């Protein structure tokens, strides 16, 4: 594990760095995957000026900057606009939705992939184990259905209150479970007891559970895009802070964990940068321009 410093951010191999940092040479661009919450923005949703400007400069340099977030589409678009990505790709809903960004399109993007699943079995199992939790579901049309008027900024739209049976019958891209009465450890215990077969899941900072289709993660979506962009595997960089970033950090040739990340996230990374409150992402992004 490397702790990121001003002298080490560019790596140890000068030849490779010179190659990486020449985006004007065909085939020498980097694919840079960036988490949003806890990486580009703090936990109040604020993006600092140094982070915004560093991200904009990496985009302007011609690298393939790809937002890779647990946020749903509508909550991701403002971040894309904020850092100036007019053309490229973005991964939303923890890999469940992939966008092609194109400023010539009427909406500025098109959905090129969506991974859906039947949420019924997992919702029934979780409801038995966590009866007081709140549940929300992103359907294949981009709507959010929720119990108990559950709302979150990551949804990007106002959730529609429905009964639990209606959620069981929907087709899901993403399921979210939250409980103010439980700890992340209790969530992990419940999940181990249930098994959660046939889906992919990650537990957040609080008692927050994100569920996607089986085998779907940020990393699987990014690997598909890497092939589409024809980027060599050693030219990939990823920065993140959450448990839903672990696969992405191990996927990247240079995986960087934010300073405030949990221990298991840091263990999955090659490097550790500063925390989100100390503009850790800006330090990493600036290193790509040297």
**What value does the mean pLDDT take over residues 170-187?**
87
How far, in Å, CA of 84 to CA of 80, rounded? 6
Which residues, 6 or more positions from 68, have their beta carbon under 8 angstroms from its beta carbon? 33, 34, 35, 90, 91, 95, 218, 221, 222, 238, 240, 248
pTM of the predicted model as reported, rounded to 2 decimal places: 0.87
Q: What is the dihedral of CA 59, 63, 64, 69, to 10 degrees?
A: -60
What confidence score (pLDDT) does residue 179 get?
86
**What value does the mean pLDDT take over residues 107-115?**
96
Which residues, 6 or more positions from 158, have their beta carbon under 8 angstroms from its beta carbon? 144, 151
- Please say if the pLDDT value at position 5 is more than 70: no
Residue in 31, 144, 44, 127 with CA at minimum distance from that of residue 93? 144
Instruction: Say if residues 283 and 273 touch (Cβ distance below 8 Å).
Output: yes
Per the prediction, the chain carries an average pLDDT of 88
Residue in 214, 148, 140 with CA at minimum distance from that of residue 177? 148
- Please say if the pLDDT value at position 85 is more than 70: yes
What confidence score (pLDDT) does residue 27 get?
60
Highest mean pLDDT among 11-20, 84-93, 195-204: 84-93
Exposure string for 78-92, b = 16+ CB within 10 A, e = fewer: ebbeebebeebbbbb
- Please say if the pLDDT value at position 20 is more than 70: no
How far, in Å, CA of 273 to CA of 9, rounded? 9
% residues pLDDT > 90 (the chain) = 73
Task: State the pLDDT confidence band at 43, using cuts at 50, 70 and 90.
Answer: confident
Indicate the domain borders of the chain. Answer: 2-115+217-287, 120-213
CATH superfamily of 2-115+217-287: HAD superfamily/HAD-like (3.40.50.1000)
**What value does the mean pLDDT take over residues 63-76?**
96
**What value does the mean pLDDT take over residues 181-205?**
81
Task: State the pLDDT confidence band at 279, using cuts at 50, 70 and 90.
Answer: very high
Task: State the pLDDT confidence band at 2, using cuts at 50, 70 and 90.
Answer: very low
Does domain 120-213 match CATH 1.10.3720.10? no
pLDDT digits (tens, 9 = 90+) for 258-269: 999 999 999 999
What confidence score (pLDDT) does residue 13 get?
41
- Please say if the pLDDT value at position 286 is more than 90: yes
């Amino acid at each position: 594990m490397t702790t990121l410093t001003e002298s080490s951010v560019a790596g140890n191999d000068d030849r490779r760095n010179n190659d990486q940092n020449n985006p004007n040479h065909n085939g020498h661009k980097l694919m840079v995957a960036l988490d949003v919450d806890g990486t580009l923005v703090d936990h109040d949703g604020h993006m600092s000026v140094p982070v915004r400007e560093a991200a904009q400069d990496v985009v302007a340099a011609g690298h393939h900057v790809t937002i890779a977030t647990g946020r749903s589409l509508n909550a991701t678009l403002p971040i894309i606009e904020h850092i100036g990505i007019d053309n490229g790709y973005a991964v939303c809903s923890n890999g469940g939705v992939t966008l092609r960004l194109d400023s010539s399109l009427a909406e500025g993007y098109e959905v090129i992939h969506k991974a859906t699943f039947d949420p019924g079995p997992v919702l029934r199992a979780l409801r038995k184990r966590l009866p007081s939790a709140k549940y929300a579901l992103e359907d294949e049309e981009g709507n959010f259905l929720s119990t108990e008027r559950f709302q979150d900024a990551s949804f990007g739209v106002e959730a529609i209150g429905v009964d639990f049976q209606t959620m069981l019958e929907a087709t899901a891209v993403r399921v979210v479970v939250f409980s103010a009465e439980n700890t992340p450890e209790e969530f992990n215990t419940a999940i181990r007891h249930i098994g959660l077969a046939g889906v992919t899941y990650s537990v957040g900072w609080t008692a927050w559970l994100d569920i996607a289709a089986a085998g779907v993660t940020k990393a699987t979506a990014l690997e598909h895009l890497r092939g589409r962009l024809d980027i060599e595997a050693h030219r990939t960089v990823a920065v993140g802070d959450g448990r839903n970033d672990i696969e992405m950090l191990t996927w990247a040739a240079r995986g960087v964990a934010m300073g405030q990340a949990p221990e298991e996230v840091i263990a999955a990374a090659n490097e550790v940068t500063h925390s989100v409150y100390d503009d850790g992402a800006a330090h990493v992004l600036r290193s790509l321009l040297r």
